[in-house]
Amino acid sequence: MLTVNKLEEVIEELRNLKIMLDDISGFMPDRHFIIDESGIILSHFGNEQPDLFFNIGNMKQRSIFEFSTIEAIGNDLRNAVNKCFSENKMVTLEYSLQLEDFQLLAPGVIGPENRQWFEVKIRPMHSLLNQKRTVVTSTRNITERKLMEQKLHEMAMTDPLTTLYNRRHIMHELERSFERFKRYGTNISVLMLDIDHFKQFNDTYGHGVGDLVLVELAKYLKKAIRKLDVAGRLGGEEFLIIMPDSSVGQIKEVAERLIKGMGELKVSTSEGELSFTVSGGLSEIMKEDLCVDNLLKRADQALYFSKENGRNQVNISK
């Protein structure tokens, strides 16, 4: 039997324990919610920083789903909670919101299109609360992480000088196009480009000016190619454009227009305005091609023919 003094000691210990737990939870990087099977918030603790899209306020005994006012996100959250209960394991959900979704997004980093990303982890609790099964959820703003992931992904795919796709990725895109050709019969044509006398250009004006030429060519290609086309730098002064759903006969005029446009570019340098020309070779996929190598080999042969017959032109592989 507890005496009054002993009871007061227990109450004081519990009070100190609660203060200690509150202090600890305040350092937690995430906001945590304990919710029951219907989504009612029984308790919440953790991160007090205003980096989430909702105001914490007094949220007890309210449904967590009502704070996810975007219907699709609310449904995803509900499904994730149900999965956590049914499979008795942790479930992770990521979603993004835009400025149009809420009048005011969370303070801090905002990505392209006024977008922020959030992560919710939902884990089953092994003890009952008020005789109800419960889960604990943690929510954090992951916008900085997502933007860094996107930046690293772009760096892995793009050529640092021209910001076109690098050789590895343009070849990956070509392989994907080849797989679609094998499965659906969709045609592929490629245009291989090479700047005329580029070594002489570098030797005369220096590699810095040569880099300016490469950059200006890339800028032009980005604006001039069709939306469905994909351009990349193979290396040095050589570029490749993948032109899906087209035969070389259909795109010969397009390729000639690109060659002409590049020949009209003016590059501003310390040596004054300079111009350059480009040669091209066109090739399209054939039924007997077992891989993309033959497609590229034919484009390269057509490019060589253009070089040998006056440059500043495009030819189709025979």
Alpha-carbon gap, residue 179 to 51, rounded angstroms:
44
Task: Check 237, 264, 288, 308 and give the catalytic one.
Answer: 237
237 counts as catalytic: yes
Both structure tokens of 14: 């519990």
The 3 state secondary structure assigned to the chain is CCCHHHHHHHHHHHHHHHHHHHHHHHCCCCEEEEEECCCEEEEEEECCCCCCCCCCCCCCCCEHHHHCCCHHHHHHHHHHHHHHHHHCCCEEEEEEEECCCCCCCCCCCCEHHHEEEEEEEEEECCCCECCECEEEEEEEECHHHHHHHHHHHHHHHECCCCCCECHHHHHHHHHHHHHHHHHHCCCEEEEEEEECCHHHHHHHHCHHHHHHHHHHHHHHHHHHCCCCCEEEEEECCEEEEEEECCCHHHHHHHHHHHHHHHHCCCEEECCEEECCCEEEEEEECCCCCCCHHHHHHHHHHHHHHHHHCCCCCEEECC
Determine how many CB atoms are found less than 10 A away from the CB of residue 265: 17
**Residues recognised as catalytic:** 237
